[in-house]
A and B are shown apart, each in its own frame.
Chain A
């Protein structure tokens, strides 16, 4: 069997506004970039994963377009922006049981083309109990933020610090959309979109994408490239399950605990975190759910400067994250994975590189904090094979 799986290649599209490129072209650019990074070619690929918003029919079209004629494993798990985190786990499982040995995970999105929704979205049974009331993503996340404030005393200033930390990292990222450091006051002075969330509590929206190459232990050994070990992974789904709404936690409570268990580590072992940052509140709840602080204490945790790279107690999203760097196609999981790989390889921008970065955690949240979501957690290790 294939043994432990490793991330051997990672590539993030440098573009943020790409109206002239097609989705197929963006996929091909990031795929070729990730393979080049790993020292592999298209002919080596026998596993292929993407989401159903890829152009064409599932992954069939892209496999054909890219010339992937020896695939033995494919998957199109769709859990929104967290899907690519889930894909890393699925690639690792497929490699572990020997189904394949070189797996591509590709993501590309163009926000300018509108939100990519799954084809079954309009048949969702809950749709007519939500849309006619003027709901949408920002208001739904605002509902979660308001409830968190009510139960735990979390403040708008504390949420704003999450944006401040992201902006302090983004200033060192030449590709980031927002490279100017912002202050708590500037976040609070930005327009309220759906209170308590301000404009600067929200992520940016961009075009772009990224790809990863996940390989077996044997392949990793043969490559002249630092490969990052996939030590633990898990996914979870949380909804109201019939109207039992609790907006103060995410599905990361479940995926995180299981990923830690598989990796044999705990939150105290994590040197760097890539946390889904569609909104500031998303980060705050994940910090609590993943055990970096007690439930309800996320506000004081971030207020301490914990998230700031490289010297906070939990350097997080050192590329500037979705709040400042990019959020391609409204799906932010892939950039989180790529920056975690950079950190573990020691290849992050020097100003934000975490010293002795041994273990990283990436968590994705897809769907909505205010209704139902999918969470994916992976634990990655620097150790050489």
Chain B
């Protein structure tokens, strides 16, 4: 099986708790929540507080690398019950959790590889899929490192 198409890149809902993250993606910068006191990284990057110590947290740029924690090849468009409209014609595609080198897991897509060749523990790095023009958010996806 080969990827015959570009995956759709629907625009995310940008809310006050995620505006800074998405603004950075427009410049192809991938940021993750970080607590300097705990030296812990958090995902999703929606909090100005640390969910462990309740101290202030901020966005920080990680290495952008990680490994596949789990994945699935979505094969039937009927599986897409919630908000997956743009993906109706995109099957088969890979939905995955990537465990970042810094720790947290990110729900994403694995691209740039035959879906059948994706494995747990595969080393990956972040790439960006534009949802519109150069000022618009870009979706962080991962491809083999």
A residues contacting B by CB (< 8 A) are 115, 122-123, 125-140, 142-144, 146-147, 150, 191-197, 199, 240-245, 247, 371
Contact = CB atoms under 8 A, between A and B. Distances in A.
B84 A191 contact: no
Interface string B1-39: 000000111111111011000100000000001000000
B132 interface: no
Nearest to A147: B70
B101 interface: no
Contacts of B128: none
A192 B70 contact: no
Contacts of A122: 13
Given A137-B79, A143-B72, A240-B104, 16 more contacts: A129-B44, A131-B84, A132-B9, A132-B10, A132-B11, A133-B108, A134-B87, A136-B81, A136-B83, A139-B72, A139-B74, A142-B74, A193-B78, A194-B75, A243-B100, A247-B70
Contacts of B17: 125
B90 A134 contact: yes
Interface in B59-96: 69-76, 78-84, 86-87, 90, 93, 95-96
Contact of B82 (A125, A137, A193, A197): A137
A243 B42 contact: yes
Contacts of B46: 125-126, 129
A134 B75 contact: no
Interface residues of B, number: 58
Given A143-B97, A144-B70, A150-B120, A191 B75 contact: yes
Given A129-B43, A134-B93, A191 B13 contact: no
A192 B44 contact: no
A321 to B, nearest CB: 20
B51 A241 contact: yes
A138 B71 contact: no
A242 B33 contact: yes
9 contacts: A125-B17, A129-B44, A133-B109, A134-B80, A136-B80, A193-B74, A195-B73, A243-B106, A245-B99
Contacts of B103: 243-244
For B33, B45, B105, the residue with the greatest tally of chain A CB atoms inside 10 Å of its CB is: B105
B75 A125 contact: no
B79 A139 contact: yes
Interface in B100-145: 100, 103-109, 120, 131, 139, 141
Given A132-B9, A146-B70, A193 B79 contact: yes
A150 B67 CA distance: 14
B42 A139 contact: no
Contact of A244 (B9, B13, B86, B105): B105
Nearest to A129: B44
B7 A191 contact: no
